[in-house]
Chains A and B, each alone.
Chain A
Amino acid sequence: RKEVEQDPGPFNVPEGATVAFNCTYSNSASQSFFWYRQDCRKEPKLLMSVYSSGNEDGRFTAQLNRASQYISLLIRDSKLSDSATYLCVVNLRGTYKYIFGTGTRLKVLA
């Protein structure tokens, strides 16, 4: 079983749609959680950190369920520019190491 699992997609959605991505992690020592965005042939860029209480940044909402070891990302009012691969990232307690999920591809269609 992979340490961080995501549905690879692709998710093809029309502009303006709401789309949700899920991510599960297996290591209970996971401490910090992030969603990164990666465009084709580019480096990943931090989209948002994920906090236990859930957090929102504009059209993006992230949630964490430690009991179920589950993270989610919700994107509202999708834009064409949201098309990218979204990477779920987990940081293990006591280390700086990041464990990356395989990523979920999103295509927002006009």
Chain B
Amino acid sequence: GAVVSQHPSRVICKSGTSVKIECRSLDFQATTMFWYRQFPKQSLMLMATSNEGSKATYEQGVEKDKFLINHASLTLSTLTVTSAHPEDSSFYICSAVPGTSVSEQFFGPGTRLTVL
């Protein structure tokens, strides 16, 4: 149980385009989802906390107008990287917390974004 999917798994785009990444909890409802970014040889850095039906909470230094998060249902959160630039190239990973869980997060397989 507790499976989280992400789509797409890999995306290559031109600079200036917007990219949407979906995160789905497949067999549970997730009131809270998280979006992380991981640059090569670095750890996961939390970008934002996504709560179903409310605005996302962004970590310090993360531009909310550039990284748009929508958590419209209990099983889906989306991250849109607007006007992507090469420095946004990274591994984006989401995680989800089941409503009954105090602390365990379940991670999606990640999306590798390359901006040319």
Give the B-binding residues of A (Cβ under 8 A).
31-32, 41-46, 87, 91, 96-103
Contacts and interface: CB of A to CB of B under 8 A. Distances in A.
B35 interface: no
B110 A100 contact: no
A42 to B, nearest CB: 7
Most chain B beta-carbon contacts within 10 A, residue among A44, A46, A102: A44
Contact of B110 (A43, A96, A102): A43
B32 A96 contact: yes
Contact of A41 (B45, B104, B112): B112
A87 B112 contact: no
Contacts of B102: 32
B44 A31 contact: no
Contact of A98 (B34, B42, B112): B34
A87 B44 CA distance: 9
Contacts of A41: 91, 110, 112
A43 B23 CA distance: 13
Top-8 shortest CB links A-B: A43-B107, A102-B43, A91-B103, A32-B103, A100-B43, A100-B44, A43-B110, A96-B97
